[in-house]
Chain A
Amino acid sequence: MTTRLTVNGEPVELEVPGMRRLLDALREDLGLTGTKEGCGEGECGACSVLVDGAVVDSCLVPVCQVDGASVITVEGLAREERLNALQAAFLETGGAQCGICTPGMLIAGEAFLASGAELTDERIREAIAGNLCRCTGYTKIIDAISLAAQRLRT
């Protein structure tokens, strides 16, 4: 079956079974290995991507559900070899340690920034509550998202 979608702004046609996990299509069919698998059952959020602006666990989404959709992965964040505001803030504050949750955290963070939600630690914590990190205690991830939001809003 053919699935047509855009991935990081590029049109893509996938000739794969409709029930193939979006995660596998991204990693194995499109070579976008920035999106990670941590549990395969929607608990850890390492496989988070944006589908039409919404954060989803790509391990739980079959390809047939994203026909016609726009998908953004971590590879779609940097522009012209430059880190975007959120990535730069993660680098400065120490929001990435082992880095395996980082792609999903960045995706959840981007959704928070785009939402225009009130800029408080509590709202940021809610925004990343579906993404597990075992290294940071979340403190510096929250700092990073907060820093990026302050920069983008001024």
Chain B
Amino acid sequence: MTQTVVPPAPLIAPPGVPTPGRARPAAPLRREGPDKLTGTAKYADDLVFPGAWYGATVRSTEPHARLLGFDLDDAFDWKRVVVVTADDIPGENVVSLIDDDQPALVPIGGEIRHQAEPLLLLAAPDRATLREAKRHVRPRTEALPAVFDPLQSTQEFAHFTVGRGDVDAAMATADLVIEGEYRVGHQEQLYIENQSMIGVPREDGGVSVHGSLQCPYYIHKALKRALDLGDRQAVVVQSETGGGFGGKEEYPSMIALHAALLARKCGKPVRMIYDRHEDISATTKRHPAIMRHRTGVSRDGRLIAQEIEVVMDGGAYCTLTPVVLSRGVLHAAGPYQCDHVRIRGRAMATNTPPNGAFRGFGAPQTEFAAEMQVNRIAEALGISPLDLRRRWVYREGGTTPTGQVLRESVGGIDVLEAAADASGFEETWSRPRPNDGRVASGIGLALAWHGAGFTGSGEVQLASVASLELTDAGRIRILTASTEMGQGTKTIFPQLVADALGVEYDEVEIAPQDTSFVPDSGPTVASRTAMVVGGLLIKAAGKLRLQVEGRTGRPFAESYREVGPMRVDEQFEPYPGVAFDDETYTGDAYPAYGWACAVARVDVDLDTGEVAVRDCVSADEIGRVIHPILAEGQVEGGTLQAIGYATIEEIKLRDGRYLNDRLATYLIPTALDAPPIRSILVEKPFSGSPHGAKGVGELPMDVAAPAVVAAIHDATGAWIHDLPATPERILAAVAGVAPPPQPGVSAGSDGGSVANRAAPPEGSDPKPEARRTDAQPFRAPTDPDDDWKHRR
């Protein structure tokens, strides 16, 4: 049954008093919008460098092997191209990040750890020569045994234990102990602009790279270390960036190194523009994860104890895995007050391409499990999932598993009520509804929190700098390394600064994200840009205003053009009263949290198991709303990514290789798959940031997936424990038979190294191009009198 819902006007509550950074009633238009709308914005592949060559990467085709050497076929004239191997790396052969385990290129004699590992680079003056050269390279290898199941891996990247109270004693007093195991697979960021980087040799012996990226200074550091360059010899320039979602946080360092190595060897600019197949095959994904919950509750619905275990699959190299795991663990108990909590997490190595940053950064995985667990407890207790959350959700003064007391800006109950109210949850959930036996409808709700900014002492260690200057020409200019990738950095920064200085939006310029101009304001990740860097800019603007007005004796807006060049650098200082102990993992894990509630309505086709999400409401409490249109855009986009995660986005693997590594086989929601998404922005300002903002990018990603799965349960009576809730999993759950193989774990040709839950044979096909739809080994009963449709 399709229900038509007329979306109400976006709600921003409460109205409150205008403060700097609140762009109401008139929010400025997107700064770079006209360029994007006329086709004049320059993305990396649009940049012209005369005489540029084309670069390519020769990769492993084995999940685990020793590299013995390369056979370069004599049939090809190798003078036509440039070849780069690990021997050409002048500095350290590492892609600099947390651990130095990942080489830029595997050296001869070195260990190949995954199927898409870069081994050798080629550059040629044209694409045809490049393709021809690539066909004439053969790596010689010696196979080694591979591990694909994180539960069988013996190599650990990181582990964390978080908790408080006496879990064992408390659990023993519980009336009811509920256990659950939940699994999620890989997810591809699928920015529509593929990874792209262009290396350009510099006269000073260094190199400039221009490309699609989130974190200029990550790449700057990687170039300096691997190429043994000085600070000024490595220059990183962001081109217009067609989406990131975390996927352009770390992998661009690898591509930049490759482009730079080739450019320096051939003495020409070299274009490394990935096609979609290479991008999906080789670059990072969201970590697959396994979550086990044991929850003790009283018969009257009190939350007594939580014991949670998280295992993440890091893939072949460490990348950002320890930080992803940390965030996952810190969010794993969900936004609920509990005095006895123990959470243990570990991240293991497997011979699959490395997993890395993706919007939400570990929290969407663990919060999916937390919400599933709450829904199953509500069912066991016979309490509505809304009522149970009303009882459990953190209020002001609540204490988190790390012992953090939530003193302010705690919007969990507000978003819960707002989303429930706007969606009509109580009137719909668990109520009889028309059912023609072919399509069942349901509604589901989920709640989440998301720590704003870097975890723990991360921001203190980053010590970001943001700068403001008055130029010779009498202009106000923002200098930060924070990148625009669609989320609105280039719009909200001038808006915040203009508000703080009392000038018009158009009077404030923003400098290009070029490491030769801008200070290191940290990476553009972790929903930290508006809150942290935006906060630094407001403080810098305050100082600039004082200095100018002190000198001219008149208001800033009237007099700043008379004042010569002037610059204010503002460095991050800890938020007042916020402290975290990295040794014991206790204290204020985040300065503040965002809060979100999603309610989804679904129709489930009982013959095919297909899910259509008909409507989704997402209420998000983000401190202060700086720019309502941009903030809503974040909520709507994050919500649809989460709906994709819940329903159709799954990577299947064999021998550690992604099988559906094309856009024809890795599906994301189209406009027809997407429901109308209603965003409700709720404000509870955070006093630690000058504008009260907490960040919005990741929060909505945490909450829509469990809402969709709860709605599938409301429709069918079946719980889906593994994401995505594909037709196979839904039909198997409805029929009460063994589920398809767990998500995220590679099938192996030997069969021995792969865990299986007594499942039918893997339906994956070694030739993914040949298979456009998933096999459907199970069929649901079609008898309309069957009780499974109404079971709950």
A binding-site residues for B, Cβ under 8 Å: 27, 32-41, 43-44, 46, 73-75, 77-78, 83, 87, 90-94, 96-103, 106, 121, 124-126, 128-142
Which of A73, A131, A136 is close to B637, meaning CB atoms less than 8 Å apart? A136
Additional A-B contacts beyond A39-B276, A137-B638 (11; CB < 8 A):
A32-B39, A33-B45, A40-B276, A73-B39, A94-B629, A98-B191, A99-B32, A100-B192, A129-B671, A133-B671, A134-B189
Q: Is A137 a contact partner of B637 (Cβ separation < 8 A)? A: yes
Cβ distance B410 to chain A, nearest Cβ, rounded Å:
27
- Taking CB atoms, residues of chain B closer than 8 Å to A100 are 43, 191-193, 242-243
Known: A46-B192, A101-B192, A132-B668. A90 touches B37 (CB 8 A): yes
Mark the stretch among B59-67, B370-378, B672-680 that contacts chain A.
Answer: B672-680
Cβ distance A33 to chain B, nearest Cβ, rounded Å:
4
Q: Is A138 a contact partner of B38 (Cβ separation < 8 A)? A: no
- Taking CB atoms, residues of chain B closer than 8 Å to A83 are 34, 37-38
Question: B13 contacts the other chain (Cβ, under 8 Å)?
Answer: no
- Closest Cβ neighbor of A37 among chain B residues: B45
| B contact face: mostly helix, strand, loop, or mixed | loop
Produce 1/0 per residue, B176-199, CB < 8 A to A.
000000000000011111100000
Question: B46 contacts the other chain (Cβ, under 8 Å)?
Answer: yes
Known: A33-B42, A137-B640, A140-B636. A96 touches B677 (CB 8 A): no
Q: How far is the CA of A134 from the CA of B636 in the complex (A)?
A: 10
- Taking CB atoms, residues of chain A closer than 8 Å to B487 are 97
CB-contacts of B474-522 with A (<8 A):
485-488
Which of A75, A96, A121, A134 is close to B30, meaning CB atoms less than 8 Å apart? A96
CB-contacts of B736-792 with A (<8 A):
none
Q: How far is the CA of A130 from the CA of B671 in the complex (A)?
A: 8
Q: How far is the CA of A132 from the CA of B668 in the complex (A)?
A: 8
Q: Is B671 a contact partner of A125 (Cβ separation < 8 A)? A: yes
- Taking CB atoms, residues of chain B closer than 8 Å to A99 are 32-33, 35-37, 41, 240, 242, 486
Question: B40 contacts the other chain (Cβ, under 8 Å)?
Answer: yes
- Taking CB atoms, residues of chain A closer than 8 Å to B486 are 97-99, 135
- Taking CB atoms, residues of chain A closer than 8 Å to B244 are 98
- Taking CB atoms, residues of chain A closer than 8 Å to B144 are none
Q: How far is the CA of A37 from the CA of B189 in the complex (A)?
A: 17
Cβ distance B225 to chain A, nearest Cβ, rounded Å:
30
Interface centre among A36, A90, A99, A128 (most CB of B within 10 A): A99
Produce 1/0 per residue, B562-602, CB < 8 A to A.
00000000000000000000000000000000000000000
Question: B11 contacts the other chain (Cβ, under 8 Å)?
Answer: no
| A contact face: mostly helix, strand, loop, or mixed | loop
Which of B39, B192, B241 is close to A75, meaning CB atoms less than 8 Å apart? B39
- Taking CB atoms, residues of chain A closer than 8 Å to B38 are 34, 74-75, 77-78, 83, 87
Cβ distance B748 to chain A, nearest Cβ, rounded Å:
29
- Taking CB atoms, residues of chain B closer than 8 Å to A129 are 670-672
Which of B30, B32, B663 is close to A94, meaning CB atoms less than 8 Å apart? B30
- Closest Cβ neighbor of A92 among chain B residues: B29
Which of A41, A73, A130, A140 is close to B664, meaning CB atoms less than 8 Å apart? A41
Cβ distance B246 to chain A, nearest Cβ, rounded Å:
12
Which of B243, B275, B639, B671 is close to A142, meaning CB atoms less than 8 Å apart? B671
CB-contacts of B127-158 with A (<8 A):
none
Known: A33-B42, A36-B43. A96 touches B670 (CB 8 A): no
Known: A36-B242, A41-B663, A96-B37. A139 touches B29 (CB 8 A): no
Q: How far is the CA of A145 from the CA of B417 in the complex (A)?
A: 32
Q: Is A91 a contact partner of B37 (Cβ separation < 8 A)? A: yes
Q: Is B637 a contact partner of A135 (Cβ separation < 8 A)? A: yes
Q: How far is the CA of A135 from the CA of B674 in the complex (A)?
A: 12
Q: How far is the CA of A90 from the CA of B193 in the complex (A)?
A: 19
- Taking CB atoms, residues of chain B closer than 8 Å to A139 are 632, 636, 674, 676-677
Question: B394 contacts the other chain (Cβ, under 8 Å)?
Answer: no
Cβ distance A151 to chain B, nearest Cβ, rounded Å:
16
Question: B202 contacts the other chain (Cβ, under 8 Å)?
Answer: no
Question: B633 contacts the other chain (Cβ, under 8 Å)?
Answer: yes
- 24 A-B pairs with C-beta separation under 8 A: A35-B39, A38-B194, A38-B276, A38-B663, A39-B276, A39-B663, A43-B663, A43-B664, A73-B39, A75-B38, A83-B34, A87-B34, A91-B37, A94-B633, A96-B33, A97-B633, A101-B242, A128-B671, A131-B671, A135-B243, A137-B674, A139-B676, A140-B636, A142-B671
Question: B662 contacts the other chain (Cβ, under 8 Å)?
Answer: yes
Q: Is A44 a contact partner of B192 (Cβ separation < 8 A)? A: yes
Cβ distance A27 to chain B, nearest Cβ, rounded Å:
8
Question: B641 contacts the other chain (Cβ, under 8 Å)?
Answer: yes
Cβ distance B581 to chain A, nearest Cβ, rounded Å:
38
Known: A33-B46, A94-B30. A134 touches B243 (CB 8 A): yes
Q: Is B30 a contact partner of A98 (Cβ separation < 8 A)? A: no
Q: How far is the CA of A121 from the CA of B34 in the complex (A)?
A: 25
Cβ distance B769 to chain A, nearest Cβ, rounded Å:
10
Q: Is A41 a contact partner of B276 (Cβ separation < 8 A)? A: yes
Q: How far is the CA of A141 from the CA of B671 in the complex (A)?
A: 10
Interface centre among A75, A90, A135, A142 (most CB of B within 10 A): A135
Question: B245 contacts the other chain (Cβ, under 8 Å)?
Answer: yes
- Closest Cβ neighbor of B628 among chain A residues: A94
- Taking CB atoms, residues of chain A closer than 8 Å to B638 are 137
Question: B56 contacts the other chain (Cβ, under 8 Å)?
Answer: no
Cβ distance B130 to chain A, nearest Cβ, rounded Å:
15
- Taking CB atoms, residues of chain B closer than 8 Å to A34 are 38-40
- Taking CB atoms, residues of chain A closer than 8 Å to B40 are 34, 75
Q: Is A140 a contact partner of B671 (Cβ separation < 8 A)? A: no
Q: How far is the CA of A81 from the CA of B471 in the complex (A)?
A: 29
- Taking CB atoms, residues of chain A closer than 8 Å to B668 are 132, 134
Cβ distance B291 to chain A, nearest Cβ, rounded Å:
26
Cβ distance A112 to chain B, nearest Cβ, rounded Å:
11
Question: B630 contacts the other chain (Cβ, under 8 Å)?
Answer: yes
Cβ distance A29 to chain B, nearest Cβ, rounded Å:
13
